Chain A
Amino acid sequence: MPDEQAWREIAIGGTEINPGSTERVNTGAWRSEMPIIDFSRCTHCMICWVDCPDACFEISDTRLAGIDLDHCKGCGICAAVCPTHCITMVPESSVPVKSSESGA
């Protein structure tokens, strides 16, 4: 664990010399509501992809493919901006599967 390193062992100044560390943090666990996409109504306009603060929308061959639920914090911005209202926020507790398994 990095937080067991002593003061002489870490980089100075709080500088992170191996960028990308945020990816290792499972912020999906913070979620209380989960976005569910109704792909039958999705036009693949990508507005959700642009607006997601955590860059969680996954793309495959220019089409929306799913959500990275390991990092989605459930903020609901995607549901609010979706012009076809195809994204719905549902309580985490009502979804039977674990978030890490439900991501696309």
Chain B
Amino acid sequence: MTTKQKASITLPAPLAINGGEAVAYAMRQIDPEVVAAYPITPQTFIIERFSEYVADGLVSTEYINVESEHAALSACVGACAAGGRAQTATSGPGLALMFEIVWVASGMRLPLVMHLCSRALSAPLNILCDHSDAMAMRESSWIMMFGSNPQEAYDQAIVAPTVAEHPDVLLPFANVLDGFTVTHSVERVDVLPDEDAKSFVGEYEPERWALQPGGGATFGGLDANDFYFEHKRQQVEAMDNSLEVVRRQLDKYAELSGRKMSLVEEYLLDDAEVALVVLGSSEGMVRAAIDQARADGIKVGMLRVRLFRPFPVADVRKALSGVAAVGVLDRAIAFGAPANALMQDIVMATRTLPERPLLMDFVYGLGGRNTPKQMFREAIDHVVLAKEQGAEPESPAYLGLR
């Protein structure tokens, strides 16, 4: 990501804030009609800071203190159905408690936004980062975008409503941030002036879906075997539509902010013979490991997937074509499945490439297990070995497991 900025615009001074505060800052600029959330580590910074904005009168948001995450998302669903812009934030077990409503929100086609601060699912009890929570919602018809640092947490938060509310989309959006590594990391965050952020996001003007006087509609009615199937097919189309909408909105945002974001991001892939695929905040350390391996003469690159749902198959195929062997980094286990979540997608995306790369899966970082450079270097060495032997090794391998 570049930080080149246009000289003509006076930008606010960069802030030293963490990922949670960066999201709250974006939410203040967006000023949603309703925010309903229940505090849970590591999402807490978002909600604490946003509550302060509410208390200080800096937003006109109706902040609803709810009794659970199930209620939080339900309140957002109600607010959104009533024609309001609604947002929430949660983590791991909080998302698990929301689950019924996760499907309700997307099925009712409500473009609300959730900031998901990734946290392992219990038990055993764990409050640290992995992607078990996010992976559990990957088939729920939410747009899912993984940020890798506080800057992206902010940038994605600004883009999120513009994608969700697009008339060709109308689906909820999950801004996924790694718990602690993004939410608690204080870093430089460049922000837009309030008026620029507000004009980029615009007003939410639902067409005919609002529960407003004169334009009433019934939401959440019974949809038995006569229509349910058809409505699910519509969601498939909306998901498909959203891919190009995301691409356009990211480009539009880049013009405004000077910060380019893509559906997938490549690092030294042009001449790469082997590659790692990664989601989320570990991309920094993967790049460091690649730099080290490159210095040792290994032609390795990285593909970082930002947009996870819908999965950008064409972009992934293009990026990985010509790569001989690929290691996929999964930060969650799909128990009993033939492959873990990201691996499944990479297998499907690459299966019809003329020269399909050798694939191997790595599980890493579960429950906040450290993700040092050496660990990713180990993964690179595994992939290089697979390439030399011309065969896919037994997969997955568990990185950093005792």
Residues of A within 8 A of B (CB): 3, 5-8, 10, 12-17, 19, 21
> CB-CB < 8 A to B220: which residues of A?
14
B19: min CB distance to chain A, Å: 32
B218 touches A16 (CB 8 A): yes
Known: A3-B227, A7-B233, A7-B234. A13 touches B221 (CB 8 A): no
Known: A3-B226, A3-B227. A13 touches B233 (CB 8 A): no
B217 touches A17 (CB 8 A): yes
Across the interface, B227 reaches (CB within 8 A) one of A10, A17, A19, A21, namely: A10
B233 touches A14 (CB 8 A): no
| Max count, chain B CB within 10 A of own CB: residue among A8, A15, A16, A21 | A15
A16 touches B107 (CB 8 A): no
| Max count, chain A CB within 10 A of own CB: residue among B220, B229, B234 | B234
Q: How many A-B residue pairs have CB under 8 A?
A: 53
B109 touches A13 (CB 8 A): yes
B230 touches A10 (CB 8 A): yes
Across the interface, A14 reaches (CB within 8 A) one of B170, B208, B216, B231, namely: B231
B225-241 CB contact bits vs A (8 Å, 1 = yes)? 01111110110001000
Give how many B residues have a beta carbon under 8 Å from the other chain's beta carbons: 23
B223 at the interface (CB under 8 A from A): yes
A6 touches B230 (CB 8 A): yes
Q: Which residue of A lies closest to B230 (CB)?
A: A7
B121 at the interface (CB under 8 A from A): no
A16–B220 alpha-carbon span in the complex (Å):
9
A2: min CB distance to chain B, Å: 8
B108: min CB distance to chain A, Å: 5
> CB-CB < 8 A to B110: which residues of A?
13
A70: min CB distance to chain B, Å: 20
B230 touches A13 (CB 8 A): no
B218 touches A13 (CB 8 A): no
Known: A7-B233, A7-B234. A14 touches B217 (CB 8 A): no
> CB-CB < 8 A to B217: which residues of A?
15-17, 19
Across the interface, A15 reaches (CB within 8 A) one of B218, B229, B233, namely: B218
> CB-CB < 8 A to B216: which residues of A?
19
| Max count, chain A CB within 10 A of own CB: residue among B219, B220, B231, B233 | B231
Q: Which residue of B lies closest to A16 (CB)?
A: B218
Across the interface, B209 reaches (CB within 8 A) one of A6, A15, A19, A21, namely: A15
A33: min CB distance to chain B, Å: 25
B226 touches A14 (CB 8 A): no
B218 touches A19 (CB 8 A): yes
B156-196 CB contact bits vs A (8 Å, 1 = yes)? 00000000000000100000000000000000000000000
A13 touches B219 (CB 8 A): yes
